Structure 1
Amino acid sequence: MPSSCPECGSSNVVEDDLYSQKQWVCEDCGSLVSEGVFTTTLSDEQQSRTIPYYISTEVTKRPCANLVKGLGRVRALCRILRLSSDMEMGAVSLFERAYNHPTFIHVRLLKKEVLGGCCVLITCRQKNCPITMGTISSLLDADSALIGMVYQDLIKALSIEPTTTSISDMLESYCYGYKLSPGEVSEVFAEPTRRLVERSAALVELAADTWLVTGRHPLPILMACVYVAWQSLKPMDRMKCTLNKFCQISRLSKEVCAERKDTVQKRISELRHVLCKLGRELPWLRGDTVEPSTVARLVDDILKHRQTLMLKALRHYEQEAEPDLSDCTATDEADQLPITDPAAPSQPLLTSKLDQKDQLSGKDMDILKTSGQSELKCGDKAVEESVPPAGQEHWGKRHLFLPPSVRTEKRPRVDAPELTVTGYEEISDSEIEAYIRSPEEVRRYLAVKRKLKDDED
């Protein structure tokens, strides 16, 4: 029995029975001094210590050892990638949800290790952080195919919507960064933002159809399309305006222009060469040459008849590259292009791709689909192209529009020269003398050795 009440210090403590549990209560202040016990251990009985009820029935659920290791792995990945604390907390929370999900409970340990990397990857993509699946694969030293499979399972299990941004969606907000509206610059260089967006969107669609966007960073492509679109709206006054002057007129920051200048110049050159390939197919030019420096005058007509010009350019290029296929028949509907006056008022530039494709025949669509593949359809025949032997022309030169990664021939690997040393070669006297110390070198060596020995002593 307790000797005194800890609240008031009174020694008037009595035993009070409450059902099957005994309590010690102070009669003076009414406070509960001690509760009875249901169970006790041997050590408690020997040392006369009581165990309260809430301690005897308390159950503490400890986290799994693999969960603790996984949380540490997720935090380590976030710190290696130098992510913010908010992104680290989001990745940790996502990993805890995924680890306790029924989809990932009864899986191999390797998948649980990869699961942490997938949670970090999803967090980075939600925050537009440029971390790729290959980076996570190299950090975890895991197979990228396994990471992709776990990534897809994680998205389905937790109903996560991965963020995807289209280059066309970025264009409108990007064009508003250029200060080219009427009233902000002179009338010669001024252009309404809505009109600039429409012309730039048409050029972005053309760049996507001709593989210029594939595998490229979107901002240089957007800047090149905006620049060419701005020139094409008033070509006579703006053709001689360089990219640096355009950046000054539009009040772009010098840091942005200097950082991406070389890349943007390459994209402008590639876009102009594509426009030249299509511009040569305009029937009213009658075979005249189209130069990249003056192609801005033809952009309006090229965008009006983009699909038809692409079909004609592909057919002519295939006929030049494959003379034995010249007897193949083709439909004449796509070749018939109305000759219009370039000075006539232009029609709306942006027409839907679906409407343009509906105007083409089925065989024309087959030519468009197979323009970048290794099989060319001609009538009912299928000519399969094989990779040329070494020393012959690269297969990419037989196609007009190709992704950047296959336009040029890859450099052949240069093997290291084989060593012809056998160990049985004759050694000349001069080589032997080069390995023998001279008397002066011997004296210096002994002096240094004695000095080191004295220093040690």
Structure 2
Amino acid sequence: MPRQTKCPECGSSAVEEDSHYSQCHVVCTECGFLLTEGLLTTTRSEETFFQAVRYTESTAEVKKPCRNKIQGLKRVRDLCRILRVRPVVEDAASKLYPRAYDHPCFLHTALEKKEALVGCCVHVCCRQHNWPLTMGTVCALLHVETSLFSAVYLQLVKELYLDIPTLGLLDLVKTHCDGFNLFQSSESIPPKFLEDKNKVVDRATQLVELASETWLVTGRHPVPIITAAAYLAWQSLLPGHRLKCSLSRFCRLAGVRQPPPASKRVREIAGVLLRMAPQLAWLAAQRVDLKTVVKYTADILRHRNLLLRQALNGTWGENTGPQTELSEGMTSETSEEGGSEEGGNEERGSGAGGKTKRSLQDQPRGAGEVEPRPKRPAPIFLPPCLTERKRRKFSPEPGGSLGTEPITGEEEISDSEIEQYLRTPEEVAVFRAASAIL
């Protein structure tokens, strides 16, 4: 069928399509000039206007994703199935990954960064759908460095403006304990180390709650705290065989990597249990330390609210077992403020300090003297930023001494110091005039 187009050679408008093999050509019927050749040079939209375009533009409508994008999308689905997340999380991650992959920040990057992008998309969707998952779990599955993963994660949230809800610490306990190998019988694990997962999770959750109420969670990374709580919970369920098992061996048996601060968190949680254990009546006469207090974890957690209230109010006396200097100072100050103040001072009056306090209380105060305020008891639980403050190293001035040598008055005086004390004649005259006035 001829078209209303002029031939550039002869100017004739007699143009028609000529089927040549498998392609369609537009040919002038007067001179035989070939105007356009085949559908490979035009798109469907450009064919209407009869304009020739390049081959790369003609295939833009049916462009397929690249191999790395297809492989990354497959990795997203495989990771979701390994984690056994809900189908809605898998669908959300499959939609987020192409969007993130085509972003200019992640399009022309290294393959390691694109591998980390797979885990970041799954982690973001799990957080958005309240599915507890830690970055360490994803990094262990993908064999990605933690620093690279965190950098890609922060960049993904910033560039795509993603809304990530906060994740509760208690929700992470069960998820983190699910990866332990101590709940399944194996040849490499002795039978005395096997334990029921539900018992460990319940007790570890109670220990994490106790750590949160005593300021041990404030500003801390969650994984070391959960690892320490799971270790103490596992020990307390069968202390006779597990007290000698160290934290490093526990992590090897569980098949997880030991976080560096986990051993310190174990000592901190055991220290909280040690402060609360002497308040129990049946433990007041026993000698309890950081290692043996794990035996009484169940009793302490059972009466946790009462023991915490007593510890915060400072109602426990001096004969309650081993205490720290902070608790001893708290009990001495609260005994001075209590109703038995007179009796306590009379008993302590045999010493020089007691006589001094008694004599100061008996002295009459003048009209202008203000009665001193009673001292408040020092809190027994404080945030880590107050209990573990780093001391600044003293850096002396260049050329100066550290101040450790005693001053005798016979030290040499430098010329610069002597010049500071010399006065000009004008200064001497002003000084004499001022002295005469005074």
Q: Tell me the TM-score normalized by structure 2.
A: 0.45
Q: Tell me the TM-score normalized by structure 1.
A: 0.44
Higher share of residues assigned helix: 2
